[in-house]
Structure 1
C-alpha cells in the first residue's frame, strides 16, 4: 500500500517555475498596492507592541499578507543577487520630500541600495522570523514583548516597499 504524504509547506506562488525578482514584485503589487501594504504592515507592528489589544482584521488576511511579504522579501533578495542583469534609471529627477518617503536622496536615485543595505544587516530568515513574530503578537493578547529589536527590520521593510515600487515605476517608464 502506498503512503501518500501531505505537503504542509506553504507556497504563495502556485506555479513551481522560477521567477525573476521583478516579476515577483509586480505580482506582489498586483495583489496589494503600496499604500495598503504599508498601512497593513504598520497596523501589524502597532498591535504587536500593544500588550492588551489585538488586531481586529480577519486573521486569514493577516496570514496571507505575511506570506506575500515573505515572497516580497525573497524577490528583493533575488534582485540583489542579480543586480547586473538589469539597470535602474538613475537620472536626476526633482525629488520632493513627499516623493522620497523614508528614502534618502541617494536611495531615491538608486533604489537597489535599499535592498543591499537591508540584506547586509539581516538575512532572509531573520526577516521571516520578524514577520512571523509580529503577526503572532498582533493576533493575540500576550504578557511578553518581542525579544529582539523590532524597529530596524520594520524600517527596512517599509523602505523596501517604497524602493520596489519606485523600481517598478521606473521600469514601466523605461520600456514605454
Structure 2
C-alpha cells in the first residue's frame, strides 16, 4: 500500500511542526523559530565567511543547515505573496512617528531595537509586499534558493570554495525579504503588539529607535 505524502508547498515539514499551505503562517513559524535580529545577523555572518579561508563556527553546522531550510521556506512563502497587498502604512507628508505596533513583535518583552528593520527604505517599510515583487523581478525563486544554499555551503567549507556570487546584493536582498516578512507577520499575522488605544507605550514610539523618522530617510541604523 502506497501512502500519499501530505503536500508541503513551502518545504516546512523538515524544520517546523508540519506542512502549511498558508504563506503567512510560514512567516509565523519562521519568526517563532528565530528572531529577526538573529536571522539578520546570521545571514550577514554567513556572507562574510563564505569568502573567508576560515570556517564558520559561530553556530553548530547542524543549526546552520536548519536555518538554511528556514530561510528557504521564507523565500518560497514570499514568492507566493509577491503579488499580494496589505500590511501597508499611509505615508505622511510630515515626519512620521514610528510606532512599536507597526514593526515590533508582541511575544515577551518588546525589543524595539532588535526588531527594527535595518535594510528597508521608508517606502519598503510602508509597503512590505513590494519588497517581494522587486526581489523576484531581479531573480527567480530557484535562483535565490540556489544562491542562498551555495552561500551556506561555502561558509561551512574550509578554504576557498570557489564561490562565484555577488555576496553583498545577495545578503542585502535576503535581509530585506526577511525584514519585510517580519513586518507582515507583525501587522497581519498576529505576531505584533496589541494596540492599547490610549497612547501608551505599546501604541507609540516611546523607546523606539528614532522617535521621528523623516520621510526622505533611506536606511536605518547599522545597515545589515
Separation in 2, partners of 1:125, 1:55: 25
Q: 2:152 aligns with which of 112, 135, 138?
A: 135
Q: Equivalents in 2 of 1:77, 1:48: separation in Å?
A: 25
Matched ranges for 1:88-167 at <5 A: 88-92=87-91, 93-95=96-98, 99-167=116-184
Tell me the TM-score normalized by structure 1. Answer: 0.81
Preserved contact between residue 88 and residue 110 of structure 1 (Cα < 8 Å): yes
Runs (4+) of structure 1 moved beyond 6 Å? none
Gaps of 5+ in 1: 3-10
Query: 2 CA distance for matches of 1:136 and 1:58?
Result: 13
Q: 1:20 to 1:12 in 2, by over 3 A?
A: closer
1:75 paired residue number: 77
Could you tell me how far apart the structure 1 residues matched to 2:77 and 2:18 are?
15
Gaps of at least 5 residues in structure 2 are 2-10, 100-112, 196-224
**Structure 1 equivalent of residue 106 of structure 2:** none
Structure (1 or 2) with the greater helix fraction: 1
| Whole-angstrom CA distance in 2 between matches of 1:161 and 1:37 | 8
Deviation (angstroms), 1:161 = 1.2
Work out the number of aligned pairs and report it: 162
